[in-house]
Amino acid sequence: MAEKNSFLVFSGTNSKYLAEKICASLGVKLGEMQTTRFSDGEFAVSYEESIRGRDVFLVQSTFPNSDNLMELLLMIDAAKRASARQVVAVIPYFGWARQDRKDRPRVSIGAKLVANLLEAAGIDRLMTMDLHADQIQGFFDVPVDHLYASGVILPYLQSLKLKDMVIASPDVGGSKRANAYAKYFGCPLVLCNKTRARANVVETMQIIGDVKDKNVIVVDDIVDTAGTIAKAADVMKQAGAKSVRACASHCVMSGPASERVQDSAIEEIVFTDSIPYSNRCAKVKQISVADMFAETIRRVLDNESISSQYLL
């Protein structure tokens, strides 16, 4: 591995819990950085140690609210101005990724805008996980290391040793991801066809496939308000499913999500810790991706391939 003093890892305010785990896995100390907040809502960042000529890894997921993204941009700018050799943004959860195209007239493409902001701030590389759409990698003109949560979720699902298992996608858009899981386990794939009344509100849902007497695992990348995944679980249970579990990469879980999951037919829902989750729900389990990101950092520093980490 590269010399420990050749690189430094820093964290934004709300991703410190994950950055500390990554540093523990790497066997290094989390870099010292200070964020000063002002009464009008502005804030400033400063590095409390020299980073001149170092490879700097900045850990910060850009989950709500927007302060997390702004803090990351300031961290990048400060690192460039402090003569860091290379600035790598480690963004386990890349916010605005659902705005990856113009799906109707006169709308913004938020994912491209955020990519532009990160590059303008000065990143030399991006390290992220389970982008909502793979093509977002093409929004960047710097190298992108795109990791997959399946690396930690699949081993957990295998440990359950479920019989008569079926993998399900909560919507047609997630069929590619769910199909990869189904192929890995060698089990059938079920799709849910949904119609929305408006954003975050599911109107109707139909199941395409057989779930009767099956142990169903619903696979998704993001659970926001949990309306889709809770509805899917309830519909599958009504269709005769023996049990319904769910797994997703990013635990956004906003608004009434925790209550919806608790009141639904879902037995357990598994997330990574790319986003902190404070609203306790007995059905939610989080698995850490710290070791996976730490290993990727090590391989990037040593100019090694990262593809062997992919299980799918």
Residues designated as active site: 194
The answer to whether 150 touches 129, Cβ cutoff 8 Å, is: no
Closest CA to 12 of 86, 89, 84: 89
DSSP character string of 75-135:
HHHHHHHTT-SEEEEEESS-TTTT--S-SSTT---HHHHHHHHHHHHT-SEEEEE--SSGG
The answer to whether 268 touches 253, Cβ cutoff 8 Å, is: no
In order of 39, 93, 131, the CA distances from 109 in angstroms are 32, 17, 15
- Cα–Cα–Cα angle for 151, 156, 158, nearest 5°? 100
DSSP character string of 193-220:
EEEEEETTEEEEEEEES--TT-EEEEEE
CA 95 from chain centre, in angstroms, equals 9
List, in sequence order, every beta strand (DSSP E) within the chain. 7-11, 33-37, 43-47, 55-59, 86-91, 125-129, 144-147, 165-169, 189-198, 201-208, 215-223, 243-251, 268-272, 284-287
In order of 86, 141, 168, 196, the CA distances from 193 in angstroms are 45, 36, 11, 10
Q: Name the residue with tokens 């496939």.
A: 209
